[in-house]
């Protein structure tokens, strides 16, 4: 079957596969400073598996940022600090993926920011709404809710999903080379339609990335689609909506997805946004228990990093306060 993982020898790490076609838990990395050989093996594992989990890394914020810089230029939070938001951490490269408010208290599930964060519960890729998309995201646990109360992270294998599309649809996608238009407002309104009922995503700047792209590290085609994708350029709106729905439903079938639980503070998950999708799973912890996760995001440097967009830094904030 296309996409089945083949054995690849690693000398410095041990690999525990999490799914028949993607995902692995990696054991034996010398955090926060793996030597060059081990770093290259981590890159090879990411190319093969799409996402990798690392347990008990022992890293703090400074280690997390320094380790991430080895993978490329990092995004930072300054463009997103709209509506009076203030950074919660010393490092601007750390994105807040917690359920905590500005003062460190647990967010009310009905709060403005909780409504905004509902978009993270849809399958997506990071930064497709920007002109330059993201390659790797690195999410680290700092404080976790009690076991069994939720807060896991789900992943979807968009390479194998492309391989296994109906042949006629696959041929259409390759022939037409469709372009998706992405914006952050679209995923936020999709996830919380009542709260954002007055928000019109078409008033937001759309950034353009092709629906089918070659994943350079593996040489495999990838279906680059996400909750941020508002429409397909040049296509009738109803047909566009129908095709995007068909593709999202296909990629997010159970056979292409896997759930990764968080066990320990300093657990780290790295994923490649150019070959997998992810989402934050909810749970009964919301509104009850602290869940503090922090993320770094690496700017893509592949030939398709900027999509069909002008290579100018115009990252999107979201014009809401909380």
> What is the per-residue pLDDT across 50-88, written as a single tens digit (0 to 9) for each?
999 999 999 999 999 999 999 999 999 887 766 556 677
Position 31 pLDDT exceeds 50: yes
- The residues, any chain, with a CB within 8 Å of residue 33's CB and separated by 6 or more, are 67
- Does the pLDDT of residue 301 top 60, yes or no? yes
User: If we measure between CA atoms, which residue out of 280, 286, 284 comes closest to residue 262?
Assistant: 280
pLDDT level of residue 172 (50, 70, 90 thresholds):
very high
Cα 87 to Cα 184: distance, rounded to the nearest angstrom: 20
Of 184, 182, 180, 183, residue with least CA distance to 233: 180
Q: Is the pTM of this model over 0.85?
A: yes
> Angle at Cα 226 formed by Cα 285 and Cα 157, nearest 5°?
80
The pLDDT score that the predictor gives to residue 306 is 97
Over residues 95-111, the mean pLDDT reads 93
Instruction: Determine the average pLDDT of the residues in 101-109.
Output: 91
Tell me if 68 sits within 8 A of 138, measured CB to CB: yes
pLDDT of the residue at 8:
62
Q: Are 89 and 96 in contact (CB under 8 A)?
A: yes
pLDDT above 50 (res 265): yes
How would you class 128 by CB atoms within 10 Å of its CB: exposed for 0-12, middle for 13-18, buried for 19 or more?
Answer: buried
pLDDT of 2 above 50: no
Supply the pLDDT for residue 316: 58
Express each pLDDT in 176-221 by its tens digit.
Answer: 999 999 999 999 999 999 999 999 999 999 999 999 999 999 999 9
Q: Where are the alpha helices (DSSP H) in 118-255?
A: 158-163, 167-176, 184-191, 237-251
pLDDT single digits (tens) 238-260: 999 999 999 999 999 999 999 99
Confidence of residue 92 (pLDDT cuts 50, 70, 90): very high
Flag whether pLDDT at 19 surpasses 50.
yes
Structural domains in the chain?
14-299 (3.60.130.10)
């Amino acid at each position: 079957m296309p996409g089945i993982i083949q054995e690849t020898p690693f000398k410095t790490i041990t690999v525990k596969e999490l799914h028949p076609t993607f995902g692995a838990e990696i054991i034996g990395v010398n955090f926060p400073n793996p030597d060059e050989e081990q770093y290259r093996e981590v890159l090879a594992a990411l190319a093969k598996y799409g996402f990798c989990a690392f347990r008990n890394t022992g890293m703090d914020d400074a280690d997390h940022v320094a380790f991430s810089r080895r993978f490329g230029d990092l995004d930072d939070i300054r463009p997103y600090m709209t509506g009076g938001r203030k950074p919660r951490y010393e490092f601007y490269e750390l994105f807040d993926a917690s359920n905590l408010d500005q003062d460190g208290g647990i967010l009310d599930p009905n709060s403005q920011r909780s409504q905004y964060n509902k978009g993270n519960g849809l399958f997506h890729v990071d930064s497709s709404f920007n002109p330059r998309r993201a390659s790797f995201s690195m999410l680290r646990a700092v404080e976790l809710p009690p076991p069994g109360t939720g807060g896991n992270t789900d992943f979807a294998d968009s390479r194998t999903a492309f391989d296994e599309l109906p042949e006629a649809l696959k041929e259409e996608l390759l022939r037409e080379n469709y372009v998706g238009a992405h914006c952050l407002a679209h995923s936020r309104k999709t996830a919380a339609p009542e709260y954002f009922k007055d928000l019109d995503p078409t008033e937001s700047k759309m950034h353009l990335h092709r629906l089918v792209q070659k994943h350079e590290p593996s040489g495999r085609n990838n279906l680059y689609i996400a909750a941020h994708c508002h429409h397909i350029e040049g296509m009738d709106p109803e047909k566009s909506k129908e095709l995007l729905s068909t593709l999202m439903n296909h990629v997010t079938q159970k056979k292409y997805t896997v759930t990764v639980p968080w066990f320990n503070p300093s657990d780290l998950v790295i994923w490649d946004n150019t070959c997998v999708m992810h989402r934050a799973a909810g749970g009964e912890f919301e509104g009850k228990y602290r869940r503090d996760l922090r993320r770094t995001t690496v700017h893509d440097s592949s030939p398709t990093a900027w999509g069909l967009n002008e290579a100018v830094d115009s990252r999107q904030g979201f014009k809401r306060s909380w």
